[in-house]
Amino acid sequence: MYHIPDFIGKSASFDFIQQLKQEIKWKQETLRFFGKSLLTPRLTAWYGDEGMSYSYSGLKLSPNIWTPALLEIKNMTEFATNCRFNSVLLNWYRNGNDSMGWHSDDEKELGLNPVIASVSLGAERIFRVREKLNHKNSFGIKLNNGSLLLMAGELQHHWQHCLPRSAKSQGDRINLTFRMIVA
């Protein structure tokens, strides 16, 4: 993991948030858990190069076409990480009640040791990480407005992460997780 807390400045972050709220095709997906249908506790969107479909939690997503704001953030992220990305999963956490449960980004489309570049815009939240085989071995990272978190190597094999609910979070947050679909 590599963390850059001030990857995007406050003014640019604010501008990106406004653009993304307006131009992204946001959806609230329905997931099936133990025979029940549940709405995801956040809004999501999938964008990328043509043909870069992605499946997770029983969903199969086909990419929307890149927007100018997404391409600008993608180019900045590729330059900072020296990695190439062909897709992005966006999550809009509208308040502290919106969340993401424990998981690893280990879907077959991401390849053996995926590189995930996570850009956070908006309200600060604590990103939790725990070891798969020993949940007591865990830690949190404060993801503030404009931060970049890079996850790479064997991290997804041995660790899980989540964004838990937060009573302290007052504002909304948009998270962009850039990925390389390989399969």
For residue range 59-84, what is the model confidence (pLDDT) as tens digits?
Answer: 788 899 999 999 999 999 999 999 99
142: tokens are: 């404060």
Domain spans of the chain, in order of start: 1-24+91-183
121 has pLDDT over 90: yes
Q: Which residue bears the tokens 């947050």?
A: 173
Please report the pLDDT score of residue 37 as a whole number: 81
Classify domain 1-24+91-183 at the CATH topology level. Jelly Rolls (2.60.120)
Task: Give the pLDDT band of residue 113 (cuts 50, 70, 90).
Answer: very high
Tell me, what's the pLDDT at 183? 62
pLDDT digits (tens, 9 = 90+) for 87-111: 999 999 999 999 999 999 998 899 9
In order, the DSSP letters of the chain are -EEETTSS-HHHHHHHHHHHHHHS--B--EEEETTEEEE-SSEEEEEESTT--EEETTEEEPPBPPPHHHHHHHHHHHHHHT---SEEEEEEE-STT--EEEE----GGG-SS--EEEEEEES-EEEEEEESS-TTSEEEEEE-TTEEEEE-TTHHHHEEEEE---SS--S-EEEEEEE----
Residue 161 tokens, joined:
């992460």
* Residue (of 183, 128, 125, 178) closest to 152 by Cα position: 178
pTM of the model: 0.93
